[in-house]
Structure 1
Amino acid sequence: MSAEPTTPITHLRYVGIAAPDFERATEFYRTAWGLEQVAEDGGIAFFGSPAAPENYLLRVRKDSAKRMDVVAFGVRQASDVDALAERLGQAGVRIDREPGKLDTPGGGHGFRFWDLDGRLIEISSDVAERTARELEPKESIPRKLSHVVFNSTDAPATLAFYEKHLGLRLTDWLADRLCFLRSGVDHHILAIAQAPHVALNHVSFEMRGLDEYMRGTGRLVRDGHRLLWGPGRHGPGDNTFSYFYDPFGNVMEYTTELEQIPDEKTWEPRVFELTPENSDQWGTSNSINEVFIPAQFNDPDQGLWTPSPV
């Protein structure tokens, strides 16, 4: 069996969104969701976790309209940034910003390009890390950014783009509706869903463990936040899930215990059928059809093919 191609991508670094009510957004992510606001500059708030060395995991920018600004992936070193930018440019991929110094918290070296659907993607290295600590038992706040899911009108084509240009590797399919891609041993850092329009499907944050995941879910429910789907455990990825809306209709997830790929170089992608057991192994969640399917489609993204101002 041949080894899979290598990828320069090491991890998912952060997701950037824009929100029309900046104060309401920052309040939600700081208090309800449990992230730590690490910086604010000119209508942009940066949120991290005390357990994550990553400088920030989520950024929220004040804007008149809701949109996804940018999704950032990390690479090991500046030469990987430069080589990837050159390779994408030669392949005809539209570059937004050429490689250079980043002026966001943590600095670093990076560039930006648009994927085939018009999403803005950042690749960076040498971003300064923050001092991190282990979360305590029962500390029900996100430990790190787990994954992001995109909606695409042509999921196979979007999958092929990320395989070809970023070297991400296919882990599994859920029927022909959702594919999962990885850069290392985590089951996925990116998933692509077949949908009626291009949008952000959801962003997932990993909790310390099962108890902390349940406590975080319960905290949001007690505070009056609508639980869209969960708590449960998926088939593909074997991870737990609880999905909530943020104040603007973006779907956010608490998860934990994401499947690890034991020998990723010899992994054969699986195809999971669309069954209740593969949606939720435990059978504890509400039906996926009740609320979550319409919720995950989200609004059509207003920021496609548009540079983010920051």
Structure 2
Amino acid sequence: MSNTSLITHLRFVGFAMPQLEEQRAFYSKEWGLTEVTEKDGVYYFAAEGSPEPYVLRLRKDDKKRADVISFGTASRSNVNLLAELLKLDGVKVIHEPCELSTPGGGYGVRFFDLDGRVVEVSAEVAPREHRELASGESIPARLSHCVVNSPNPQATVDWYEKYLGFRVVETLHIHGRTLMWFMRCSHPQHHVFAVGNGPHVAMHHVSFDMRGIDEFLRGVGRLQRDGNELIWGPGRHQTGDNAYGYFQDAAGNTVEYTAGMSQLDDAWKATEGDLSDPAVLDVWGTSNAWGEHVMRSHFNTPDEGLFVAPPL
């Protein structure tokens, strides 16, 4: 295993919150995921176009938190080598590499990152039967990426580079301050993970890829017609070249419909973007303005589960 080829993709994100039933209804009836199973109070949701057994898991808790962020790797030997490196450097491992009992099984390890988030890396997860989405079908095809907030963003970026092999492909700046670090894994997708410069540790947003731009716009419109507030969008970021439309789920986490993200070849070089240029945020010029309302949504509320492992 080379460190820079460790992570192949983002598998799933887990949330815990008091409003479990409201969350289940939002993600299945509004957002367009498929609730596939429940086990020990955890509900698992798949994206119809994805081979992952699930891309989202929900659990009821008195406190709101991001339960776990899970990444894929190519082999169980990668999992073992990662665990050895983590333990050698004193990183707190939640559970040693083991067979997983979650849908799809597999072999994985869990640990805390620098900020106290729970991270899982797994291999040999059995794929789910999935299908090609039809033209015009405005539901998520797959999980695209997630972004976290950190009050110590550069240290968090360095941590993910060191242990998980992520590489910074682009940073966004304004008035001399860096606000965002976009990071790629071994997959050519522009980014599957990013770190935002935030006031506290929290999930910034979780993004779901649509079949195409038409389906993206249909999805944004459908959610608005159903009474969901469009926080920001529809537009197209210069960073990653992806379309964006941001909403909030029933617990106040920001979630995104996206489409069209760029793929990087072997000749890619890290770039910088200046947020004082409005085209960096939205090359189309169709979105509502980026401002305090958008930033409040993206900052989210402080994660209440840091350095505490979820029960499942």
TM-score range (shorter-chain normalised) is over 0.9
Superposed counterparts of 1:48-197, under 5 Å = 48-175=46-173, 176-183=178-185, 184-197=187-200
Local SS of the residue matching 1:53: coil
**1:281 matches 2:279:** no
**1:255 matches 2:253:** no
Cα shift readout 1:139-175 (whole Å, capped 9, x = no counterpart): 1100110000000012111111011111111110011
Cα shift readout 1:114-160 (whole Å, capped 9, x = no counterpart): 11100100010111111111100001100110000000012111111
Equivalent residues of 2:92, 2:112 under 8 A apart: yes
Return the letter of the residue paired with 1:247. Answer: A
Return the letter of the residue paired with 2:238. Answer: G
Local SS of the residue matching 1:211: helix
Local SS of the residue matching 1:161: helix
- Which residue is 1:218 aligned to? 221
C-alpha distance in structure 2 between counterparts of 1:261 and 1:30, whole Å:
32
Give 1:290 deviation, angstroms: 4.8
Give 1:278 deviation, angstroms: 0.5
Equivalent residues of 2:91, 2:111 under 8 A apart: yes
Give 1:267 deviation, angstroms: 2.2
- Which residue is 2:24 aligned to? 26
Cα shift readout 1:21-64 (whole Å, capped 9, x = no counterpart): 21111010001000011111232110001211000000010111
Equivalent residues of 1:48, 1:58 under 8 A apart: yes
Unmatched 5+ stretches in structure 2: none
C-alpha distance in structure 1 between counterparts of 2:125 and 2:265, whole Å:
29
- Which residue is 2:38 aligned to? 40
Return the letter of the residue paired with 2:228. Answer: H
Cα shift readout 1:81-139 (whole Å, capped 9, x = no counterpart): 11111111112211111110111111111110111100100010111111111100001
Q: Normalising to structure 1: TM-score of the pair?
A: 0.96
Return the letter of the residue paired with 2:179. Answer: R
CA RMSD of aligned residues (A): 1.1
Equivalent residues of 1:19, 1:64 under 8 A apart: yes
Unmatched 5+ stretches in structure 1: none
Local SS of the residue matching 2:182: strand
Give 1:276 deviation, angstroms: 1.2
What stretches of structure 1 move > 3 A for 4+ residues in a row?
none
- Which residue is 1:239 aligned to? 242
- Which residue is 1:296 aligned to? 298
- Which residue is 2:271 aligned to? 270
Q: Normalising to structure 2: TM-score of the pair?
A: 0.96
Give 1:5 deviation, angstroms: 5.9
How many pairs are equivalent?
Answer: 305
Equivalent residues of 1:180, 1:192 under 8 A apart: yes
C-alpha distance in structure 2 between counterparts of 1:101 and 1:140, whole Å:
35
Equivalent residues of 1:22, 1:43 under 8 A apart: no
Cα shift readout 1:170-213 (whole Å, capped 9, x = no counterpart): 11001111010011200000000001111000000000000000
C-alpha distance in structure 1 between counterparts of 2:69 and 2:138, whole Å:
25
Equivalent residues of 2:47, 2:143 under 8 A apart: no
C-alpha distance in structure 1 between counterparts of 2:303 and 2:238, whole Å:
28
Return the letter of the residue paired with 1:279. Answer: L
C-alpha distance in structure 1 between counterparts of 2:79 and 2:44, whole Å:
23
Local SS of the residue matching 1:291: helix
Return the letter of the residue paired with 2:191. Answer: H
What's the % identity of the aligned pairs?
49
Aligned to 1:201, which of 199, 204, 209?
204
Return the letter of the residue paired with 2:256. Answer: E
